[in-house]
A and B are shown apart, each in its own frame.
Chain A
Amino acid sequence: MPISGLVITFDQTFDHIDETLSRLRAEPAIEVGACDRQQCAIVVDTPSQADDKKIYQWVQDLPGVAGIQVAFVGFDDDATPDSSSTTDSVD
């Protein structure tokens, strides 16, 4: 159950950012945060990593999107990454 915080960078020559934004807003897995003419913060909340990738791809392909940066990835999992990665951990 990944949750990622992404930053979208817009193509500065693109004129219809508002349209792209409304498409983002319409997507239920995406929450749109702070935006300006160049960048926009979104949070993607999906049930699986595969879905997460799909959404990522979808966003990338939206008109006017020049790039995406990952600001944060969180897993809604009880085990913290630290302890689950230890050889000493017991399940």
Chain B
Amino acid sequence: MPSPAADDNQPSRKPTLNRRDLLQGRLWKLMRPSERTPLVMRYPKTRADVDGSDLAPSSKPSSKTPRSIGGIAIEPVPPTAFDTTAPPRSFPVFRPPGAVAEHQFLAGCTRCGDCVDVCPHDAIVKAPDRMGAIAGTPTIDADANACLMCEDFPCISACEPGVLSRLLPTTIGTARVTEHLCLAHHSTICTVCSERCPTAGVISVSDGKPTIDEGTCTGCGVCRYVCPAPENAILLMPLLNRPSLPS
């Protein structure tokens, strides 16, 4: 991070929008920081609560008074229900590095799981059954474990049918900082993503705020994995138009 020169007390810059920002709805750029919606950290409610509202909205468990001594509950606090929150309707799928275009990938991948087994960081997992057509194919979920972009790509070497290929770019997507969620844009200090991005020079920090170079970002998702903002401030998107292999 470059340190400012002695007299460089950066005057407030006027926010500007370009077309791309507009298309991507990055309108918060226009708001002055003081006017930004404050960050709120929300915790999953209790398991009973989640089950109740998800499965049988009408039969929400009557909030039965917990066993207590003089108003002090002696019931253990139910565990946090990280795994029972409803999955979103639509979500992006990330393929391991070097994956061919999706139609070729789906056709060629034998669901053998070899790439899953060789990944030293447990980043590759088989898509679960509820994912329908793609169930069993390898995916990467940076929220669980990010791809660390191994130098030798054991996953590609392990792929026998060759739907992961060294001939193709190993980029799996791209990341962006969602500024209105980012701590560095909320008058506090956070430099985690820029410190941990494994690819040199992708995240630059100016005035304490990170910017991702979408051209060189590999989409590994490390930044998303480590971002400690109350709502994850890294938007990660898979590579949209993966090239096909000449067959």
Contacts and interface: CB of A to CB of B under 8 A. Distances in A.
A80 B24 CA distance: 9
B109 interface: no
Contact of B102 (A78, A82, A84, A88): A88
A82 B237 CA distance: 7
> Which size bracket describes the interface of A in this complex?
10 to 19
Contact of B88 (A72, A74, A78, A85): A78
Interface in A57-91: 72, 74, 78-91
Given A78-B88, A78-B89, A86 B238 contact: yes
B56 interface: no
A82 B94 CA distance: 14
SS class of chain A's interface: helix, strand, loop or mixed? loop
B27 A84 contact: no
A33 to B, nearest CB: 12
Contacts of B132: 90
Interface residues of B, number: 22
A84 B90 contact: yes
B92 to A, nearest CB: 5
Given A72-B22, A88-B102, A90-B132, A83 B91 contact: yes
Given A82-B24, A82-B235, A82-B237, A88 B89 contact: no
Contact of B134 (A82, A84, A86, A90): A90
A4 to B, nearest CB: 12
B89 A86 contact: no
B6 to A, nearest CB: 39
Interface of A: 72, 74, 78-91
Interface of B: 22-25, 27, 88-95, 102, 131-134, 235, 237-238, 240
30 contacts: A78-B90, A80-B25, A81-B23, A81-B25, A82-B24, A82-B92, A82-B237, A83-B90, A83-B91, A83-B237, A84-B90, A86-B92, A86-B93, A86-B237, A86-B238, A86-B240, A87-B240, A88-B92, A88-B94, A88-B102, A89-B90, A89-B92, A89-B93, A90-B91, A90-B131, A90-B132, A90-B133, A90-B134, A91-B89, A91-B90
